[in-house]
Amino acid sequence: MTTKLTIAFLVTFAGAVLLAPFYIPLLRRLKFGQTIRYNGPQTHLKKQGTPTIGALIFITPIIIVSLVMYFADIAPQIIPLLWTTVGFAFVGFLDDFIKIRKKSKDGLKPYQKMVLLFVVSLAFVFYITYKDYVDNSIIIEFFGLKTSLNISWLFIPFSVLVLLSATNAVNLTDGLDGLCAGSSFIVCMLFTAISVMLCPNDSVAYFSVAMAGGLLGFLLFNANPAKVFMGDTGSLAIGGAIGACAIMLQRPLILIIAGAVFVIEALSVILQVGFFKMTKGKRLFRMAPIHHHFELCGWSERKVVIVFWIFTLLCCILTFISIK
């Protein structure tokens, strides 16, 4: 299995590296450029026009490898993971495309995006429960303590909530060059390790390692200074993939620790908005999501990203140890 996992990783990595020189000029010719908000950090204004929807660079090889694994009967349960990722990517693509056409930061209306994500999430959860890929239990493990909590019919709405929360949290993290891609790469490698060594699930193992390979290849072009952005096409797809993997392993709560960066980013926005309304105009952070706060405190973009990567790595190590 180790050999097949390595091949899957290398193929998606190489695929992303080889596709980037084709996709990036194509996105430029199509004038698919990023619109930068003028009320954000002023250092970001120079990124105006950088090609976006670059997630196609890593999603394409992931689709190919996943389908090969499925038809070769190596990962028989990989299809719902794939379609959820692609479904979320499609919603993100619609959002990105509308923004590009309008030359604005406003794409799909919030309720439109939420309805579409809800439909994809519900389809995923219904399918995996109907096919008995999972039961109605949530497994909680933490340093030797292990319990299986059967939540009956609540498993479906709870899982949908996990998917929607993961997607929105990852989406908020995609604000600095390489931050989302690098952090997500680390989390995907954690899921590979867990599904191979601790909670055997071949489909999650192959899908997460394929995700990791594609993201690492994309990161070569997305790291500061970024030559391409993933757009909501990528961040929504990644959030869906990570959430779906956690649900398939029946351990969605590990996202709280393993995805602590995503959780903190989301909480910083919630706290900022709540504090602003309660105090009638005062701010808790200089800017939210919190990565922008550190930028305005004087940290360079690269420093913020590297610190967040290291934090994610430590959280993933802690998650692995706590389950082991």
The model's pLDDT over 189-208, given as tens digits with 9 standing for 90+, comes to: 999 999 999 888 999 999 99
The pLDDT confidence band at residue 107, using thresholds 50, 70 and 90, is: confident
- With a cut of 90, say whether residue 22 has pLDDT above it: yes
Separation of alpha carbons 226 and 222, rounded Å: 4
Mean pLDDT for 282-294 is 91
pLDDT digits (tens, 9 = 90+) for 216-271: 999 999 999 999 999 999 999 999 999 999 999 999 999 999 999 999 999 999 99
Mean pLDDT for 106-123 is 93
Separation of alpha carbons 195 and 101, rounded Å: 41
Is residue 185 within 8 A of residue 216, CB to CB? The reply is: yes
The one-letter amino acid code at 205 reads: A
C-alpha distances (whole Å) from 255 to each of 94, 162, 190, 258 are 27, 9, 11, 5
What value does the CA radius of gyration of the chain take, rounded to a whole number of Å?
Answer: 19
- With a cut of 90, say whether residue 103 has pLDDT above it: no
C-alpha distances (whole Å) from 84 to each of 80, 122, 319 are 6, 10, 24
Q: Give the pTM.
A: 0.94
Separation of alpha carbons 139 and 147, rounded Å: 6
**What confidence score (pLDDT) does residue 39 get?**
61
Share of the chain above pLDDT 90, in %: 79
